[in-house]
């Protein structure tokens, strides 16, 4: 996607947040619905699809690969699948924009097809490591020519006869796992991924929804062993996408921090492998209730009821990182206001997100007057237990979650916070500013 013009935003001290809202559809599930729908036989109707730029890039890529992808109405999409083995060679570059998930998962799907595809993305995505997927995909028979360090742009020629592999992933990454499982769909026999800690299991859940055989068993050391049986016939089946817990995280933390707030966020996905932030906030004393728990489209969903209250510092174990990997920027903001020292372990992966999030969080907090340090893979935030100064211009580094987190900080701080570019927010959370302001927030163009 072409780069959008930078749009600086500012947030000043807000009063209490109140009201009921819904956040846009889950980003992880939205990518997967389009990709698996494209590999299934028949028509999949997806409702609640996130229409953020990241997902629209995946929609464009699947279309270029021959799947029928059409929008019927808001969040309401039809995907006509071509069947496993049916993807066509795209006659254009696949521009995955800002999206690591889109790039890595589409590479996985393409790797099991006898086609050549060229992948690129924005400046942030072109800096991110791709060898973590191209290396195992090469073992399955794909051929990849990439820039130094396996970076984009790269050319991938899929395998005419992909080999099933057993791959012990050095990182707990749902993107790595999913890329291999998607390539494994084209291979005969069983393809297995062993992950060091359990990562989000949306790919596994959706594969089962489409009729594939997937097993997942815990390993002795806290990880998981996931096996897909290749060459299934995926049968199209409708998908309802819940609200994204990673997006709900921003208004949820703001409501905890702004005195007198009480908000409800309806229909949020609460898959246990995504819910680490809510667990952590509860440990900090945050008043968050899961009301009307139900299962929608195979995923657990609830209405989150959040009331403001004082937070206490906490130590977050490394083992929890995969279940809240995208939530450390906003947790660090909560920690700045909490009483005491919050210690977050096991954050090496934050260095290779949309930005080097470990540095971006530390820099932004420090600019806002918070005492913060990084020791190896550990982030330490000294919470004030009360006021935080704010009053800084924070660099969002092409990272939507850094941008949204610091806007939330600005609403609870003494002085306004400005971020250099709010345009990136559209990658995951279109309508963010009006949703937050509709609850009583105070975000404006800078």
Whichever of 28 and 229 has its CB closer to ligand S3P, that residue is: 28
Residues 6+ apart with CB under 8 A from 99: 31, 53, 54, 55, 57, 58, 121, 125, 427
Among residues 52 and 158, whose Cβ is nearest to ligand S3P? 52
**Catalytic residue check, 326:** yes
Position 98 contacts ligand S3P (CB under 6 A): no
What 3-state DSSP class applies to 187?
Answer: coil
Number of residues forming the site for ligand S3P (CB under 6 A): 10
Q: Which of 54, 95, 326, 399 is catalytic?
A: 326
Q: Which CB, 206 or 325, lies closer to ligand S3P?
A: 325
Interface with ligand S3P (CB under 6 A), residue from 122, 244, 326, 421: 326
Regarding 195 and contact with ligand S3P (CB under 6 A), the answer is: no
Decide if residue 239 touches ligand S3P (CB under 6 A).
no
Asked whether the beta carbons of 320 and 349 are under 8 A apart, the reply is no
Binding pattern to ligand S3P, positions 333-352, x when CB under 6 A?
----------------x---
| Displacement of CA 129 from its chain's centroid (Å) | 16
Is residue 44 a contact point for ligand S3P (CB under 6 A)? no
> Per CB under 6 A, does 180 bind ligand S3P?
no
Q: Out of 98, 101, 191, 261, which residue is the one contacting ligand S3P (CB under 6 A)? A: 101
Instruction: Judge contact between 383 and 340, C-beta under 8 A.
Output: yes
Asked if 330 is part of the footprint of ligand S3P (rule: CB under 6 A), the reply reads no
Q: What's the CA gap between 29 and 31, in Å, rounded?
A: 6
Interaction between residue 325 and ligand S3P (CB under 6 A): yes
**Closest distance of CB 292 from ligand S3P, Å:** 25
CB burial class (10 A; 0-12, 13-18, 19+) of residue 63?
A: middle
Q: Tokens 């707030």 — which residue?
A: 261
Contact status: 175 vs ligand S3P (CB under 6 A): yes
Among 33, 35, 40, 174, binds ligand S3P (CB under 6 A): 174
**Closer CB to ligand S3P, 258 or 333, in the complex:** 333
Nearest CA-CA partner of 106 in 178, 56, 206, 200: 178
Q: Mark out the alpha helices in 114-244 (DSSP H runs).
A: 123-126, 131-139, 174-184, 202-209
Residue 275 interacts with ligand S3P (CB under 6 A)? no
- DSSP string across 76-123: EEEEEEE-TT-PPPPSS-EE-TT-HHHHHHHHHHHHTSS-EEEEE--H
Q: Which of 399, 31, 377, 428 is nearest to 171 (CA)?
A: 377
The verdict on 323 binding ligand S3P (CB under 6 A) reads: no
In angstroms, what is the minimal distance from the CB of 254 to ligand S3P? 21
Catalytic residues: 326
Query: Which residues contribute to the site for ligand S3P (CB under 6 A)?
Result: 28, 101, 173-175, 178, 200, 325-326, 349
């Amino acid at each position: 996607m072409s780069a959008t013009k930078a749009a600086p935003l500012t947030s000043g001290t807000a009063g209490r947040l109140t009201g009921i809202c819904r956040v846009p559809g889950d980003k992880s599930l939205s990518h997967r619905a389009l990709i698996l729908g494209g590999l299934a036989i028949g028509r999949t109707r997806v409702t609640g699809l996130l229409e953020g730029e990241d997902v629209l890039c995946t929609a464009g890529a699947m279309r270029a690969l021959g799947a029928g992808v059409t929008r019927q109405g808001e969040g309401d999409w039809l995907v006509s699948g071509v069947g496993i083995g049916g993807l066509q060679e795209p006659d254009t570059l696949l521009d995955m924009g800002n999206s690591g998930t889109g790039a890595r998962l589409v590479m996985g799907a393409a790797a099991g097809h006898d086609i050549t595809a060229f992948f690129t993305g924005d400046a942030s995505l072109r800096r991110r490591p791709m060898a973590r997927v191209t290396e195992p995909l090469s073992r399955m028979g794909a051929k990849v020519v990439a820039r130094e360090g396996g970076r984009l742009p790269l050319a991938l020629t899929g395998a005419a006869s992909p080999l099933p592999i057993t791959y012990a992933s050095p990182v707990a990454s749902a993107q790595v796992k999913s890329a291999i499982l998607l390539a494994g769909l084209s291979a005969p026999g069983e393809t297995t991924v062993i992950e060091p800690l359990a990562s989000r299991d949306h790919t596994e859940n959706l594969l089962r929804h489409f009729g594939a055989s997937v097993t997942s068993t815990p390993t002795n050391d806290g990880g998981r062993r996931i096996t897909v049986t290749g060459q299934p016939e995926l049968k199209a089946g409708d998908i309802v996408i819940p609200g994204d817990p990673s997006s709900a995280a921003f208004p949820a933390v703001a409501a905890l921090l702004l005195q007198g707030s009480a908000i409800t966020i309806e229909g949020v996905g609460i898959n246990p492998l995504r819910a680490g932030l809510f667990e952590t906030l509860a440990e900090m004393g945050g008043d968050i209730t899961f009301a009307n728990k139900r299962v929608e489209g195979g995923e657990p969903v609830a209405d989150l009821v959040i009331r403001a209250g004082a937070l206490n510092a906490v130590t977050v174990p490394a083992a929890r990182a995969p279940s809240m990997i995208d939530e450390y920027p906003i947790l660090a903001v909560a920690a700045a206001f909490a009483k005491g020292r919050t210690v977050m372990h096991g954050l090496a992966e934050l260095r290779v997100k949309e930005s080097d999030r470990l540095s971006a969080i530390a820099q932004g907090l420090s600019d806002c007057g918070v005492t913060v340090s990084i020791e190896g893979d550990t982030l330490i935030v000294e919470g004030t237990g009360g006021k935080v100064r704010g009053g800084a211009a924070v660099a969002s580094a092409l990272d939507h979650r850094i941008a949204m987190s610091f806007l939330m900080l600005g609403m609870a701080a003494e002085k306004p916070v400005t971020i250099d570019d709010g345009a990136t927010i559209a990658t995951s959370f279109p309508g963010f500013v009006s949703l937050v302001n509709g609850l009583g927030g105070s975000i404006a163009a800078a």
